[in-house]
Amino acid sequence: MARVDEVIAKRLSSGVPLVGQVAQYIISAGGKRLRPVILLLTSGALGYQEAHKYSLAAVVEFIHTATLLHDDVVDESTLRRGRPTANENFGNPASVLVGDFLYSRAFQMMVDAGSMRIMQVLADATNIIAEGEVLQLMNMHDASLDEAAYLHVIRSKTAKLFEASTRLAAILAKASPDLEEACANYGQALGTAFQVIDDVLDYEGNAAEMGKNLGDDLREGKATLPLILAMQKGTADQRALIQKAIETGSVDQLSSVIAIVRETGALEASRKAAMSEAQRAVDAAQHLPAGPYKDALVALASQLLERRT
């Protein structure tokens, strides 16, 4: 990861000071860097040790960071990772344009890999992520969203880059088609579990620990899995209260919504759904050669369920 950070620092440089300033601000905020981590771990498990893995790990982090910059503008978010968002600090125009810079820099770096297959995977992933974001925008304030539609959105907007990260490692290592598919399945399942837990924490977490405001999803009118399951399991009155909150984006009743989500067992059911995805990731990892890298990938999927931030 130190090598990846070196690549990131080098490729963030720009002749336009504001570009480097905004990009550095959001990247230096830390974060889990899960996408680069799983690319490196999968590369290690498959015995690939060349330097291309570091630049591609930086590419997926740039793509992810670009989506965060754009997301925070769309969602009008003010807090991320415990500090003001880039749009709160630098304004919406700078955030959008620096997000564009990071996308285009990522595409420059893809070309350096000299592989049409790698470019195809990353170009397709970026396109699907954008589609997922638009789909989520269309679903805002729609209380009729079901579990299948919810999963379709998160597999596009979140899990797709996880899937691309592990698939890239397999391509670099020239793994067999079956092994490449197992790596991609690991990434997709891990990314899905990650997002479900993230949505659970919006109703279960601690704002100080999470570094973002509780109830942000509700404020944006997002019908996430805890709310979908609470409406399925709750009484007519409880369902009506959540439905109104989603449709209006009001957090006036946030404490009541949180109480309903907890009382109906929707949080436990959502964690169970995440557990099922995490298990799918563990099962996919079993196709990898034995060793510390494989063990780390299995442990990562297991520990994901315990995250509180």
Tell which phi-psi region holds residue 179, choosing left (phi > 0), alpha (psi between -120 and 50) or beta.
Answer: alpha
Digitized pLDDT (tens) for each residue of the chain, 309 residues in all: 999 999 998 998 888 999 989 888 888 876 789 999 999 999 999 999 999 999 999 999 999 999 999 999 998 888 887 789 999 989 999 999 999 999 999 999 999 888 999 999 999 999 999 999 999 999 999 999 999 999 999 999 999 999 999 999 999 999 999 999 999 999 999 999 999 999 999 898 665 554 556 788 899 999 999 999 999 999 999 999 999 999 999 999 999 999 999 999 999 999 999 999 999 999 999 999 999 999 999 999 999 878 766
Q: Are 257 and 238 in contact (CB under 8 A)?
A: no
Report the alpha-carbon distance of residue 269 to residue 43 in Å, rounded: 34
> Is residue 309 assigned to a domain?
no
| Amino acid letter, 14 | S
Extract the tokens encoding 124. 């397709």
Instruction: Answer yes or no: is 307 within a domain.
Output: no
Check if the beta carbon of residue 204 is closer than 8 Å to that of residue 267.
yes
> Chain-centre distance of CA 276, in angstroms?
18
Tokens at 54, concatenated: 């570091």
Is 76 within the bounds of a domain?
yes
Assess if residue 110 is contained within a domain. yes
Does any domain span residue 203? yes
Residue 268 maps to which CATH number? 1.10.600.10
Residue 154: strand, helix, or coil: helix
Closest CA to 106 of 37, 27, 16: 27
Q: How many domains does the chain have?
A: 1
The reply to whether 117 falls in a domain is: yes
CA torsion sign, 198 to 127 to 249 to 229?
A: negative
pTM of the model: 0.93
Q: How far apart are CA 170 and CA 222, in angstroms?
A: 35
Full residue range of the structural domain in which residue 200 is found: 2-286+297-302
What percent helix, strand, coil does the chain show, rounded to 5?
A: 75, 0, 25
